[in-house]
């Protein structure tokens, strides 16, 4: 298999070569696709190996269960673990060459058709599904356009969770409130910033270089300490950043949001101590 594109990263190249050789020879594996920074040609010495492993359905559970033993044949394995409940098909392994291997065992039909351009390299494709997904992704518009229904759902989530964070702060559940603020920065601010530049949201991944600096302005103020005053101020900053991003995106997409309900929640948040400016 041609791995010359990783010639400058011998640790990743050698490990990937062993992984591909093992799974390419396994008839229970229908497809292998590298994705992420290595596949994009943007990898460095810190890059993980991200690999989709498409499994034959009757053997899916066995392949996932065997992953720790199989990984031990790739090199000196230091640690490994299965994904949590929200990522049950993921397997992670860390080797003594300080490379992390992320395997995602998926069934036919589960591959996300929104394979980002330049972000994939197919090494095995028994059914042709991977080639089809790649072809579909290449026919997508260059600019990602979010569904207005998804934006409306994000808006509703933002206001409900902001109120939840304020309630927890006032109640004294400071670390729980802190976790909500962190979650909202990633799920709301990072998502809208990516959408404004026509990019599919990918959380914080390289957001410093992926999106326009204009969209990141003011984010520092959303980083809170676990104190009541800091959390309430961070919530206000987060809402200000969100409103600016949302309004810019609404103008781009010619869509609108439920401002009447928002006004009620803003007044509630202000009553709880969040230093928000109220509309005139």
pTM above threshold 0.85: no
Contact in structure between 186 and 193 (CB atoms under 8 Å): no
Whole-number Å distance between alpha carbons of 7 and 109: 33
| Lowest mean pLDDT across 142-146, 211-215, 243-247 | 142-146
pLDDT (tens digit, 9 = 90+) per residue, 39-62?
A: 988 899 999 999 999 999 999 999
Question: What mean pLDDT is predicted for residues 96-119?
Answer: 80
Three-state SS letters, 161-219: HHHHHHHHHHHCCHHHHHHHHHHHHHHHHHHHHHHHCCCCCECECCHHHHCCHHHHCCH
Work out whether the CA dihedral 249, 251, 254, 256 comes out positive or negative: positive
pLDDT, one tens digit per residue, over 167-194 is 999 999 999 999 999 999 999 999 999 9
Provide the pLDDT for residue 114.
46
How are strands ordered across the β-sheet holding 120-125?
A: 77-82, 90-95, 100-106, 49-55, 29-35, 120-125
pLDDT level of residue 7 (50, 70, 90 thresholds): very high
Residue whose entry in the numeric block shows the structure tokens 């326009």: 212
pLDDT for 222 beyond 90: yes
Can you tell me the distance from the alpha carbon of 49 to that of 42, in angstroms, rounded to the nearest whole number? 12
Enumerate domains of the chain plus CATH numbers: 4-138 (3.30.460.10), 148-271 (1.20.120.330)
Strand stretches in the chain, DSSP E: 29-35, 49-55, 77-82, 90-95, 100-106, 120-125
**Residue 93 near residue 77 (C-beta atoms within 8 A):** yes
Q: What is the mean pLDDT of the chain?
A: 92
For residue 173, the tally of other CB atoms under 10 A from its CB is 14
Structure tokens at 130: 């991977």
pLDDT tens sequence across 228-263? 999 999 999 999 999 999 999 999 998 888 888 999
Task: Give the DSSP letter of residue 137.
Answer: H
Do residues 190 and 210 make contact, with C-beta atoms less than 8 angstroms apart? no
Read off the DSSP letter of residue 117: T
Residue 259 three-state SS? helix
Inform me whether the pLDDT recorded for 137 exceeds 80.
Answer: no
Quick count: other Cβ atoms within 10 Å of Cβ 231? 25
Q: How many DSSP H helices and E strands does the chain contain?
A: 11, 6
CA 216 to chain centre: 17
Q: Does residue 260 or residue 105 have the better pLDDT?
A: 105
Q: pLDDT-derived band of residue 151, with 50, 70 and 90 as boundaries?
A: very high
């Amino acid at each position: 298999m041609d791995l010359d594109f990783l010639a400058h990263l011998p640790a990743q190249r050698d490990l990937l070569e062993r992984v591909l050789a093992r799974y390419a020879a396994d008839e229970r594996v229908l497809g292998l696709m590298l994705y992420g920074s290595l596949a994009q040609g943007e990898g460095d010495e810190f890059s993980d190996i991200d690999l989709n492993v498409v499994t034959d359905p009757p053997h899916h559970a066995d392949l996932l269960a065997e992953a720790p033993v199989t990984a031990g044949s790739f090199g000196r394995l230091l640690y490994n673990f299965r994904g949590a409940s929200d990522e049950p098909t993921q397997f992670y392994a860390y080797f003594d060459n300080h490379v992390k291997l992320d395997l995602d065992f998926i069934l036919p039909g589960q591959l996300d058709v929104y394979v980002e351009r330049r972000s994939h390299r197919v090494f095995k494709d028994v059914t042709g599904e991977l080639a089809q997904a790649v072809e579909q992704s290449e026919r997508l518009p260059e600019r990602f356009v979010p569904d207005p229904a998804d934006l409306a759902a994000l808006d509703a989530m933002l206001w409900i969770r902001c109120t939840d964070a304020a309630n927890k702060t006032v109640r004294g559940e400071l670390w729980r409130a802190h976790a909500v603020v962190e979650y909202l920065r990633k799920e709301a601010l990072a998502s809208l910033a990516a959408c404004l530049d026509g990019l599919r949201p990918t959380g914080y991944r390289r957001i410093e270089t992926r999106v326009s600096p204009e969209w990141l302005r003011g984010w520092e103020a959303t980083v809170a300490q676990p104190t009541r005053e800091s959390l309430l101020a961070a919530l206000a900053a987060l809402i200000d950043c969100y409103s600016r991003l949302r309004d810019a995106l609404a103008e781009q997409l010619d869509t609108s949001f439920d401002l009447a309900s928002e006004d009620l929640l803003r007044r509630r948040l202000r009553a709880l101590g969040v230093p928000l400016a109220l509309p005139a």
